Structure 1
Amino acid sequence: MVDSTNYLHSHNLLSKDSLKCQLGNGTSIRFWKDLWLGEEPLSSRYNCMFSLDAKENFLLSERYSEGSWNRQWLRPITSGRTESSFESLQVELAKVTLSSSPDLWK
């Protein structure tokens, strides 16, 4: 369902506001590649962070545990643009929680 929705959004066949994701437990939503937070995939918005991640296609449920996000960077986050992007991403992720219920679409 996520891939189909992303396809429809990317080809302007479906408004980004017409379907909203309830995150549920995050077992079917890819962190970087799916449209689940904001108006475009996080891989586009935070490209420098995406390139530092050890795994491109991980699911939300693979990196969220006990109320916090676990990261696996290829190298440490340093100052400058990377640090600024990291801080912005942290602010967005602080508003997100996953539940024990399956991922749902409304």
Structure 2
Amino acid sequence: MTRGWLIAKSVLVKKVGDGQNTRFWLDCWIGDMPLCKKFPRLATLEVDIGCMVADRWTPRGWTWQWRRTFKGGVSYSQLESMVHLLQSFSCSQKTDVWHWNLEEDEEFMVGGTRKMIDSEVLRGSLTKTRWNKWVPSKVNIFVWRLRLGRIPTKMKLRDRGIDVATLGRCCARFVEWNRRRWSICS
């Protein structure tokens, strides 16, 4: 699993209000995965896989639109499980919103995101991440990668077992200059 998924799943949570902006089968709005993955047989039987929560919810309960009727088997078992999962849910008058779990007031803040990156992604780093808003993003990212030692220099490539002899002479001169510089400093 990539870090991007880890961050998105742990930080962003969909809160359903009236259900007008949340897809019933395709969005992750109840439980830890979309209903189409949790109940795949029912999702294939659904007439409109892109329907919204509001399309399936009425004040009297849930309504379904299946391609065919079913009376038992895996489909019926999945329907029972889904109804059990949905029994505590009801729509409200509020609109659907995304909540950000890093801040107490559940509002997105750059500072909270930076703290999360420092604590979760950059655990080995002793200093905090500082982004300079006056320079382009690619410069911030380059400096960040440089501080982490993630720039693929010739020395780093050689340390990782890559044949650096095939690289150009310009790189070789830089490596030699860098080696002399480090030996003087240490």
- Relative to the length of structure 2, the TM-score reads 0.49
Letter in 2 for 1:84: S
- Residues 67 and 104 (structure 1 numbering): CA distance in 2 closer, same or farther, change over 3 Å? farther
Q: Which residue of 1 aligns with 2:21?
A: 28
CA contact (8 A) 1:27 1:102 kept: yes
Q: Which residue of 1 aligns with 2:160?
A: none
Distance 2:20 2:52 in 1: 6
Greater RCO structure (CA 8 Å; 6+ sep): 1
- Relative to the length of structure 1, the TM-score reads 0.83
Distance 1:67 1:36 in 2: 21
Choose 1 or 2 for highest CA Rg.
Answer: 2
Letter in 1 for 2:11: S
What is the Cα deviation at residue 80 of structure 1? 1.4
Distance 2:91 2:7 in 1: 26
Distance 1:65 1:32 in 2: 17
Q: Which residue of 2 aligns with 1:43?
A: 36
The answer to whether residue 91 in structure 2 is matched with residue 78 in structure 1 is no
Percentage of identical aligned residues: 28
Which of 78, 85, 102 aligns to 2:95? It is 102
Equivalent pairs, count: 97
Q: Which runs of 4+ in 1 moved over 6 A?
A: none
Structure 1 gap ranges (5+)? 1-8
The answer to whether residue 59 in structure 2 is matched with residue 66 in structure 1 is yes
C-alpha RMSD of matched pairs (Å): 1.6
